[in-house]
Copies of this chain bind each other. A is one copy, B any other.
């Protein structure tokens, strides 16, 4: 039985380091990536961090497509362009102008893209019977692990969500039942911002704690 347990306790210095990595993680966009390749062992480390994410009912409902081909990236970028124009049009005046001045992806500038899919099961999943989104949320937890791992490896990651998921599926020949959760771009970068880019560029303000934390009840 003893072998089923881990004895590892983390100390204050280790806790601080984790917090530092968490605080240093940024969404990195195309104007900051370097051309340097990402080695296979490093790609493996990033995906392995994802595979150690939690999954509801141990369902592991994730699939990862590793993309390096510039032709594939160009096709994905075309979907971004279409959706980005549609997206910009939803904002008014000043905000629309600000939107169009932002660089929001690094699909073609990064050496590595990873598309992460949710693969639903056709049998019940423990823990997902009352909250059907739980499988999708497991995949998101995997992505957050990958994001933190990449940051610790001094690699920038950007999550591109301004895409038509169905177009991405067609481009990648994905099974019909799969659902795109995240399209991720990875590359070494010349710097990381010290705050979220949209905070620095005054797109929106940070919410005060009193607005997001409640005691016992609303």
- Name A residues whose Cβ lies closer than 8 Å to a Cβ of B: 3-10, 14-15, 17-25, 27, 45, 47-49, 51-60, 62-69, 72, 83, 86-87, 90-91, 99, 102, 104, 124, 126-131, 133-134, 136-137, 140-141, 143-145, 147-149, 151-154, 159, 161-165, 172-175, 180-182, 191-196, 198-200, 203-204, 206-207, 209, 212-218
Contacts and interface: CB of A to CB of B under 8 A. Distances in A.
A49 B19 contact: yes
Contacts of A59: 204
B20 A8 contact: yes
Binding site of A, secondary structure by majority: helix, strand, loop or mixed?
mixed
Given A129-B162, A181-B137, A19 B45 contact: yes
A110 to B, nearest CB: 15
Given A18-B148, A47-B213, A214-B66, A165 B131 contact: yes
A15 B213 contact: no
A151 B148 CA distance: 15
A14 B152 contact: yes
A63 B215 contact: no
Contacts of A175: 218
Given A10-B154, A67-B216, A140-B144, 10 more contacts: A6-B191, A10-B153, A14-B17, A19-B45, A22-B145, A23-B52, A62-B212, A72-B217, A87-B127, A141-B143
Contact of A195 (B4, B14, B18, B164): B4
Contacts of A163: 130-131
A24 B149 CA distance: 14
Nearest to A82: B130
B198 A58 contact: yes
A94 to B, nearest CB: 13
A5 B62 CA distance: 34
A19 B149 contact: yes
